[in-house]
Amino acid sequence: MTRTSCEHTRDTLRPMHELRLRLLTTAFALSMLNACGDDGNSDDAVAMETEGDGDGDGDGDGDGDGDGDGDGDGDGDNMVSVSGDAFAFTLPGQEYGRIDGATISVLEDPSITTISEADGHFALELPEGATATFVLDADGFPPARTKTFTVPDTGLERVTFQIPDDALVDTLAALLMIELDPAACQLVSTVTRVGKSIYDAGAHGEEGAIVTIDPPLPAEHGPIYFNSQVIPDPSLTETSDDGGVLFTNVPPGVYTLRASKDGVVFEDAIMQCEAGVLVNASPPYGLQALP
């Protein structure tokens, strides 16, 4: 061939040659990406994090556990419902009142909050497995809280506050001839028969049980048991059919209340005591007899 025809041929073949090189280069790059894709460390994998997680499992969380929350525990921070009612404790013969407009929050996470309705009902959402002590703040009532819960995956229903108003607190203190220490707290619970609660009419206590507190306290703090007329009676040495029990002027700290009676097993109550607070582990989550 002449020089002119060779140059023409090269000019014709060059685009085809360059296309073939690009195809070969692309194929090689793809093979390298596939070879490195499992570890998620290639530049392409990092660049794709807006669409995936780079861990190779396709779940989008980057931890490889498949739950989508990125913590590797498989729980996904599943939110569950917690609901209950705020009751106003009353003198014998009076029907329990309902506390309307109370602020209900969680001690461990105060950002979780709601307001009780006209009938005292409230509802919240918490992560399953969370530690939660429910707090009540309402005009005319002392600062109050429940026992401390571990929220189950089924949530919680019938979480109750059972709180006397300020005037009744003063009346009960006068009855017991004690001066309430503003630097201490007051602890209350109910030793309750199997399947009974504040929602049932009549007495629901487990009679004949003894309540202890851990860490122990001097005898002047209690226990003081409520009699069948729902009056705290320092002469009693065990629960009546009311089941109520009280520890007064308790120094701040974390306490566990336990009930004991031959042939009966009770649930314990963990109570977080702070200055000026009334803690009431009330039915059905107090010192509940287990089936």
9 shares a domain with 114? no
pLDDT digits (tens, 9 = 90+) for 186-226: 999 999 999 999 889 888 999 999 999 999 999 999 999 99
Give CA separation, 4 vs 7, 11, 17, in Å.
5, 11, 20
What is the arithmetic mean of pLDDT over 217-239?
A: 96
Phi and psi at residue 4, in whole multiples of 5°?
-65, -40
Question: Is 89 domain-assigned?
Answer: yes
Kindly report the CATH number assigned to the domain that includes residue 226: 2.60.40.1120
Task: Write the pLDDT tens digit of every residue in 158-183.
Answer: 999 999 999 999 999 999 999 999 99
Residue ranges with strand state E in 32-116: 79-89, 97-98, 103-106, 109-115
Record the pTM. 0.73
Residue 275 belongs to what domain range? 79-288
Kindly state whether residues 34 and 97 are assigned to the same domain.
no
Q: Are residues 168 and 242 in the same domain?
A: yes
Number of folded domains in the chain? 2
Judge if 191 and 271 occupy the same domain. Answer: yes
From residue 252, give the alpha-carbon distance in Å to each of 59, 231, 234, 273.
46, 25, 23, 5
57 within a domain of the structure (yes/no): no
pLDDT in tens, 127-158: 999 999 999 999 999 999 999 999 999 999 99
Looking at the structure, tell me whether residues 18 and 134 fall in a common domain.
no
